């Protein structure tokens, strides 16, 4: 990133700001006080705000049109003139109000019809249920059993002395004097029942229902007429209204930015961050627009630039996980590619089963496709989907499902090597590696993985600190590296029962490495860093959990399979029980195989590795730009 000052003449100010917006390469900052410039004045600010509010409201009342025509506005005057030609506000507001009123009437009539339908068993004129003195309520049949039902029945018996209760098919009608209507509210609170007021209608139920249906049909016809008129107005005006709205919002954004700029009597200065590799192209673009009446000056600053993550396409998916942890600073190494390589390997290693990997891969493909192409009507219960969405959004689910895919493939490859298929082994096939008999080798491999990852993290820490010229901390990372390797190699000597002391010159070298490393990181980070010495060992040993989780899943699957295979040779009930255990147990183990490797795989990277080099807390690069959907950009970057 480079921090630049762009200076141009006032007559080119709008064109330059519009170009910066359309190109979207500059994060505009407050002009430096040392520049000796006064704050720039906002132009048309009140007009832009009022017009933007008007067209935002108007656009919301019109009906969206597919693939609307796109417009271009070259000047603010042209935009204001176009907005003045739109004169549909009053009619659109009236139509929306009428539609809202008619929909309310229709909904009330439908509710009334539903209530009247509950009186099908009532053979008399329903007008007798309501009068200036009498009010009636409907209580649906009480289905629940227990204490509430007893309270309800007791309440009905108590009420019979001061009201009239009529039993009909599926409901009870309670009629009483209006002066005693408050008793209904008391009963509803105690019995947790809904007391539905009987609507004021006349005639028998069928006649009343017929009249209500006719009124509903009239309301529906009215809605059709109103919507047809609104559709016609929307079809003709939505494209231009949405385009004006969008351009007004862009102009308002430009006016907001004006407060950050500086000016003299004849010039305007804009200050901000631009990707270094784009500076020359930006200069050529602005020079062409202003006929060379612009200058770009790079500012020598010690400020930390905003972060613009730029990773290869195959690893961009994992930027989601880095942002979740913390955005890297622009002057440190972006760990996205590291995560993109290590996480699938750790995940697949801990799953280590072909069957589980295949199910995860299929489910991930289905889930990511469903999120990108949601069905019109979902068969998933709303309670389940609502619960999931309280934890994570669709966007997060999509990234997680895509991130699991490479790990699922690795799990399938290792599962085939381990001869592990939902815990079963294939007949007439010899595993390339047996998990149980080769446990010691797997632990050794996981330990060396830990040494390698922690060492790589310390090397990256050295590089990061050298980049910011913090040599003390850079050398401290090398001290930690010497200490870690000295401890590891000394530990291997102990495991192989070799002597440690002057009789073994190699051990002396390792001990000297430990002591020298401690001296180096103490010099760089101070005495308090000595408290972190046990953590370097625990972080390396943490990687043995790769084997622990793999083994736990492997053994649990074997136990489930053993129960199943033992039961199928017994009686039918026991065989059925064994099948249930197989299905439920494998589903349970599969869920564990998704969550535990996912959580622990991320933890081994976030905690054990990132703590060696990654500080985060970066500020994201936010260029001056709004998305265009209904308008056409005036400017583009020079090639």
Cα dihedral 484, 490, 496, 500 in deg (nearest 10): -170
235 and 288 in one domain?
A: yes
Band of pLDDT at residue 528, cut at 50, 70 and 90: confident
pLDDT in tens, 573-623: 888 888 999 999 999 999 999 999 999 999 999 999 998 999 888 899 999
331 and 290 in one domain?
A: no
163 and 251 in one domain?
A: no
Give the pLDDT of residue 146.
47
262 and 319 in one domain?
A: no
Domain of 289? Answer: 2-87+225-298
At 459, list the tokens.
């090397």
Number of domains making up the chain: 3
Buried b (16+ CB within 10 A) or exposed e, 250-265: bbbbbbebbebbbbee
Residue 41 lies in a domain: yes
Distance CA 312, CA 325 (A): 20
Residue 187 lies in a domain: yes
Q: What is the CATH number of the domain that holds 161?
A: 3.30.70
pLDDT surpassing 70 at residue 639: no
331 and 293 in one domain?
A: no
Contact 479/519 with Cβ under 8 angstroms? yes
**What Cα–Cα distance (Å) separates residue 636 from each residue in 2, 16, 220, 509, 590?**
20, 12, 50, 63, 51
Residue 639 lies in a domain: no
Residue 537 lies in a domain: yes
Name which residue leads in pLDDT, 494 or 144: 494
239 and 206 in one domain?
A: no
Q: What is the arithmetic mean of pLDDT over 352-381?
A: 86
563 and 457 in one domain?
A: yes
pLDDT surpassing 50 at residue 98: yes
The answer to which of 98-112, 318-332, 404-418, 562-576 has the lowest mean pLDDT is 562-576
Q: Return mean pLDDT, the chain.
A: 86
Residues whose CB falls within 8 Å of the CB of residue 543, separated by 6 or more in sequence, listed in order: 446, 447, 449, 450, 453, 604, 608
491 and 459 in one domain?
A: yes
Burial of 271 (0-12, 13-18, 19+ CB in 10 A): buried
495 and 449 in one domain?
A: yes
Give the pLDDT of residue 141.
61
Q: What is the arithmetic mean of pLDDT over 245-256?
A: 85
The answer to which of 165-169, 189-193, 389-393, 464-468 has the lowest mean pLDDT is 189-193
232: how many CB neighbours lie within 10 A of its CB? Answer: 11
329 and 269 in one domain?
A: no
Residue 622 lies in a domain: no
377: how many CB neighbours lie within 10 A of its CB? Answer: 5
End position of a domain, from candidates 267, 298, 329: 298
End position of a domain, from candidates 170, 188, 213: 213
Give the pLDDT of residue 380.
73
Distance CA 282, CA 298 (A): 13
pLDDT in tens, 182-237: 766 676 666 666 778 888 888 888 899 999 999 999 999 999 999 999 999 999 99
> Across 43-57, 432-446, 519-533, 595-609, which has the greatest mean pLDDT?
595-609
Band of pLDDT at residue 481, cut at 50, 70 and 90: very high
Q: What is the arithmetic mean of pLDDT over 245-266?
A: 84
Residue 336 lies in a domain: yes
Q: What is the arithmetic mean of pLDDT over 341-363?
A: 94
Give the pLDDT of residue 76.
82
Q: What is the arithmetic mean of pLDDT over 515-541?
A: 88
Q: What is the arithmetic mean of pLDDT over 409-430?
A: 88
End position of a domain, from candidates 248, 274, 298: 298
pLDDT surpassing 90 at residue 268: no
Residue 631 lies in a domain: no
Q: What is the arithmetic mean of pLDDT over 100-126?
A: 90
Give the pLDDT of residue 35.
57
Name which residue leads in pLDDT, 409 or 527: 409
380 and 520 in one domain?
A: yes
The answer to which of 220-224, 408-412, 475-479, 498-502 has the lowest mean pLDDT is 498-502
pLDDT surpassing 90 at residue 176: no
Residue 38 lies in a domain: yes
Q: What share of the chain is helix, strand, coil (3-state, %, to 5)?
A: 65, 10, 25
pLDDT surpassing 80 at residue 128: yes
Band of pLDDT at residue 145, cut at 50, 70 and 90: very low
Q: What is the arithmetic mean of pLDDT over 55-61?
A: 91
239 and 139 in one domain?
A: no
């Amino acid at each position: 990133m480079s921090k630049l000052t762009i200076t141009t003449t006032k007559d080119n100010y709008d064109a330059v700001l519009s170009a910066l917006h359309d190109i979207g390469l500059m994060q505009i900052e407050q002009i430096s006080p040392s520049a000796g410039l006064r704050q720039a004045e906002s132009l048309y600010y009140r007009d832009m705000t009022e017009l933007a509010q008007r067209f935002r409201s108007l656009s919301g009342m019109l009906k969206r049109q597919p693939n609307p025509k796109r417009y271009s506005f070259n000047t603010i005057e042209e935009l204001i003139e176009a907005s003045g030609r739109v004169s549909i506000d009053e009619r659109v507001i009236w139509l929306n109000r009428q539609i809202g009123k008619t929909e309310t009437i229709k909904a009330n009539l439908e509710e009334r019809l539903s209530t009247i339908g509950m009186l099908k068993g009532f053979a008399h004129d329903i007008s007798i249920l309501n009068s200036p003195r009498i009010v009636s309520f409907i209580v649906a049949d009480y289905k629940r059993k227990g204490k509430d039902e007893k309270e309800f029945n007791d309440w009905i018996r108590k009420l019979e002395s001061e009201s009239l209760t009529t039993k009909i098919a599926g409901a009870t009608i309670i009629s009483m004097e209006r002066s005693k209507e408050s008793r209904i509210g008391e009963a509803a609170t105690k019995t947790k029942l809904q007391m539905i007021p009987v609507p004021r209608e006349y005639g028998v139920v069928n006649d009343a229902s017929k009249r209500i249906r006719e009124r509903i049909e009239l309301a529906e016809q009215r809605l059709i007429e109103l919507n047809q008129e609104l559709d016609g107005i929307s079809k003709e005006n939505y494209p231009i209204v949405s385009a004006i709205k969008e351009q007004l919002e862009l102009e308002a954004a430009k006016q907001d930015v004006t407060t950050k700029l500086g000016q003299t009597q004849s010039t305007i200065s804009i200050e901000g961050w631009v990707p270094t590799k784009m500076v020359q192209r930006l200069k050529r673009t602005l020079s062409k627009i202003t006929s060379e009446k612009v200058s770009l000056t790079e500012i020598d600053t010690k400020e930390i630039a905003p972060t613009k993550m730029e990773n290869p396409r195959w690893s961009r998916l994992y930027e989601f996980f880095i942002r979740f942890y913390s955005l890297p600073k622009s002057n440190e190494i972006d760990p996205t590619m590291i995560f993109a390589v290590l996480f699938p390997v750790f995940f697949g290693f801990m799953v280590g089963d072909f069957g589980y990997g295949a199910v995860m891969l299929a489910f991930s493909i289905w889930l990511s496709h469903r999120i990108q192409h949601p069905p019109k009507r979902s068969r998933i219960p709303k309670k389940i989907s609502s619960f999931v969405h309280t934890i994570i959004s669709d966007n997060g689910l999509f990234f997680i499902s895509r991130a699991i895919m490479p790990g699922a493939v690795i799990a399938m490859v290792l599962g085939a090597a381990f001869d592990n298929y939902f815990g079963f082994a294939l007949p007439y096939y010899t595993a390339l590696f047996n998990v149980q008999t080769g446990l010691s080798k797997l632990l050794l491999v996981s330990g060396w993985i830990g040494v390698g990852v922690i060492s790589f993290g310390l090397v990256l820490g050295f590089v990061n600190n050298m980049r910011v010229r913090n040599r003390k901390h850079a050398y401290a990372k090398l001290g930690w590296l010497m200490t870690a390797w000295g401890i590891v190699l000394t530990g291997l000597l102990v495991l192989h029962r070799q002597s440690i002391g002057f009789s073994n010159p190699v051990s002396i070298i390792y001990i000297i490495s430990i002591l020298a490393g401690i001296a180096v990181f103490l010099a760089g980070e101070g005495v308090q860093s000595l408290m972190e010495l046990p953590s370097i060992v625990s972080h390396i040993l943490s990687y043995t959990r790769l084997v622990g989780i793999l083994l736990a899943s492997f053994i649990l699957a074997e136990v489930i399979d053993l129960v199943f295979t033992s039961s199928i040779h017994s009686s039918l009930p026991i065989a059925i029980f064994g099948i249930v255990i197989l299905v439920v147990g494998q589903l349970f183990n599969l869920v564990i195989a998704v969550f535990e490797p996912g959580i622990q795989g991320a933890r081994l990277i976030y905690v054990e590795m990132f703590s060696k080099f990654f500080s985060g807390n970066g500020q994201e690069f936010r260029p001056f730009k709004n998305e265009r959907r209904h308008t056409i950009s005036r400017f583009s970057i020079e090639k």
